Structure 1
Amino acid sequence: MNLNPIMLAAGAEILRIYATDFAVMSKSDASPVTAADQAAETVILKGLRELAPDIPVVAEEEAAAGRIPQTGKRFFLVDPLDGTREFISKNGEFTVNIALIEDGIPVMGAVFAPALGRIYWGATGKGAFMADISDGAVGPARQIMVRPAPAALTAIGSRSHGGAETEAYLKAFAVAEFKPAGSSLKFCLIAAGEADIYPRMGRTMEWDTAAGDAVLRAAGGRVETLDGRPLAYGKRNTPGETDFANPHFVAFGDPAIESRCPAP
């Protein structure tokens, strides 16, 4: 199943609006949204209906409008524009995200950073890859994988959502460098061996993480809750919690890093 044509079409819509003086609106949870979020999601939903009409799609803007299908064991998770704040500030660190979930596991995913001209994808048992985008076409694929963990790690974290809790968590490790980055690029940079660990102590939803999680797992990394369980998908009807909300988690490359993680 090749998601890349859908990713490129959505990215083209985003860049079309990116070049304009676009308006910024607020959703019911006060998070920002633009016409690019909505236009990209429309393209993705159409593309997935044509590619896999029998697989339900849970998409961020559809979910915000209360339109969430029954999912079963197999469904797509879509974030049409992850890193809306990066899009608004025009720093390029925003992505298009599509993941396929099976039995709560992200088994396939693609992450496209249209302003950076870079796409990542991966699938269980098939490895992870990246390529440059030029003139709307995907260049040669390069396989990526996590790197062996050095003694002093390179940590990566949110450009827009950092905090004291993340800093406190990282004190348990020897950290040589901290790299800020936006959107699901953080997972992809670990997958490509450019960083080692990404703790997230703030609010995220499953569509924020699923595609990057799939790429990272395919590259040999892990994404776990703070008590060491793999981050699961398709969470619904949890008492006191919003459907599809994630707990705090940590993503890391080399599985050996897990032994250094502090106890919950």
Structure 2
Amino acid sequence: MTTFTFSLELADKVKQIAIEAGEKIMKIYDQDFTIYDKSDSSPLTEADLAAHHHIVDGLKAISSLPILSEESADIPWSERKTWVRYWLVDPLDGTKEFIKKNGEFTVNIALIEYGEPTFGVVHAPAINKTFVGQKGVGAYSEVNGLKTNIKAKPHTGNEKWKIVGSRSHQSPEINKILDSLGGEHELVAMGSSLKLCLVASGEAHMYPRVGPTSEWDTGAAHAVALGAGAKVTVLDVNKPLDADASPLRYNQKDSVLNPYFLVSC
């Protein structure tokens, strides 16, 4: 087995790869475009693939670890299940955000080790903000080169619950969770993997996800959350939130779809 050593130098290189991929996305995002979909040679597809190729080439240049990206997701389970350590990539997370041009889309790169995200970079190029986290070490956000350490904050006393949620109507499952919390709550809307980063940065207390996501959607932000002291656990809407929930894990099955999950502190 190839020896792998994680270092601050490697972390900075991965962050730079994500930022450069974001620059490639922005060249296309800043163009005039109207109607398109992901199945054709649209600006969205162009941006996705440009970021994907840059990230894959960049990661191959700095490590020999395998890479699983949304744009190269056809690697068979028979091969993937042998991986103990790999890069998990979403070159452009937040399709709807890209289409709406609201800036809330991200480039995501995570290091997965033995089923757990141990390092992650979430870069939002349109708002020039980057989140970086390493499990057991810490997490920070960076805007225009200025780094700020971030920490998840538990709900205390009688303060209003801040829950990351949809801009549109809530599902019955989410309403059930909100009802179980007691007290007042406020929904905080955000796109893409930035939802998890809101909990990591202490801007929200909780993010319950009861919709479909894939592992590349969450891996990088999951690592940021862990670095910031939050946890990401499998969510069973039929059990109390304080039940002994299992941590969300990666590359443990044929499907790359996540179960429902909860980000909390």
Shifted more, 163-172 versus 211-220: the winner is: 163-172
Please give the per-residue CA displacement for 1:155-208, whole angstroms capped at 9, x wherever unaligned. Answer: 002447953322222221134210111001111111111001000001000000
SS in 1 for 2:223: helix
CA distance in 1, matches of 2:152, 2:141: 13
Task: Work out which of the residue numbers 12, 22, 25 in structure 2 matches 1:11.
Answer: 22
Output the aligned Cα RMSD.
2.1
Q: Does 1:231 align with 2:242?
A: no
* Residue deviations 1:220-264 (CA, integer Å, cap 9, x gap): 000100251100001323xxxxx2110011111x2xxxxxxxxxx
Q: CA contact under 8 A between 1:161 and 1:202: conserved in structure 2?
A: no
Equivalence for 2:215: 206
Task: From the superposition, tell whether residues 180 and 50 of structure 1 become closer, same or farther in structure 2 (CA, over 3 Å).
Answer: same
Per the alignment, residue 179 of structure 2 pairs with: 171
The Cα shift of 1:38 comes to: 1.3
SS in 2 for 1:171: helix
Could you tell me how far 1:132 is from its partner in structure 2?
A: 0.4
Alignment of 1:116-127 (within 5 A): 116-127=127-138
The structure 1 segments of at least 4 consecutive aligned residues displaced by more than 6 Å after TM superposition are none
CA–CA distance in 2 between the matches of 1:59 and 1:175?
40
Structure 2 Cα separation of the partners of residues 175 and 105 of structure 1: 34
Tell me the residue number matched to 2:3.
Answer: none
CA distance in 2, matches of 1:24, 1:67: 27
Q: What is the deviation of 1:25?
A: 2.4
TM-score of the superposed pair, with normalisation by structure 1: 0.84
Amino acid at match of 2:66: P
Q: How does 1:1-264 map to 2 (within 5 A)?
A: 1-2=10-11, 3-22=14-33, 24-27=36-39, 34-52=45-63, 54-63=64-73, 66-67=74-75, 70-71=79-80, 72-133=83-144, 139-150=145-156, 151=158, 152-159=160-167, 163-173=171-181, 174-227=183-236, 228-237=245-254, 243-252=255-264, 254=265
Distance 1:112 1:160, change over 3 A: farther
Question: How many residue pairs were aligned?
Answer: 237
Distance in 1 of aligned mates of 2:170 and 2:112: 28
- Do the aligned partners of 2:178 and 2:185 also contact (CA within 8 Å) in 1? no
Is the CA contact (8 Å cut-off) linking 2:44 and 2:98 kept in structure 1?
A: no
Of Structure 1 and Structure 2, which has the larger fraction of its residues in strand? Answer: 1
Q: Does structure 1 conserve the Cα–Cα contact (< 8 Å) formed by 2:234 and 2:247? A: yes
Among the aligned pairs, what percent are the same residue? Answer: 43
TM-score after normalising by structure 2: 0.84
Which residue is 1:257 aligned to? none
Q: Which amino acid aligns with 2:219?
A: A
Name structure 1 gaps, 5 residues minimum. 134-138, 238-242, 255-264
The alpha-carbon distance between structure 1 residues 24 and 236, as it changes in their structure 2 partners (threshold 3 A), is farther
Q: Secondary structure at the match of 1:229?
A: coil
When residues 158 and 75 of structure 1 are mapped into structure 2, their CA distance, relative to the original with a 3 A threshold, is farther
